[in-house]
Amino acid sequence: MVFEIYGNYAEIKESKKLLSLCREIKELAAKEIRNISDSTDENEICNRVKNFLEKSLEKLIGKREVKKIFKNVEKSIPKLSGALCYVISEIGLKLGGTESGE
């Protein structure tokens, strides 16, 4: 499976495990939102969100692919979030079996 993200290409093997990883990321996101909402430090919140998005993307496409994609692209929350949402959406479309809300 090949993804074009911000002008770079990432390739991963198709696997049913990817669908379970997408569900796991969704569940972890809900927990992380609850944990982050306890903080009042804006910088800490932003760093935790960026870290969560980056680590989630790495789970799906791998660290090397994430580094390649973001080599010349800032790892901002909107860019990381956009990439993660795109990858999850494409995995759902290609492997069929997305749950509503993913």
How far apart are alpha carbons 29 and 65 in whole angstroms? 22
Residue pointed to by tokens 């692209």: 73
The CA-based diameter of the chain, rounded to the nearest angstrom, is 40
pLDDT band at 78 (very low <50, low <70, confident <90, very high): very high
Global pTM reads 0.86
Average pLDDT across the chain, whole number: 89
Joined tokens for residue 77: 């929350």
* 7-16, 32-41, 77-86: which is most confident: 77-86
The single-letter DSSP state of residue 69 is: H
Average pLDDT for residues 73-83, to the nearest whole number? 96
Query: Could you report the per-residue pLDDT of 30-55, keeping only the tens digit for each?
Result: 998 888 877 778 898 999 999 999 99
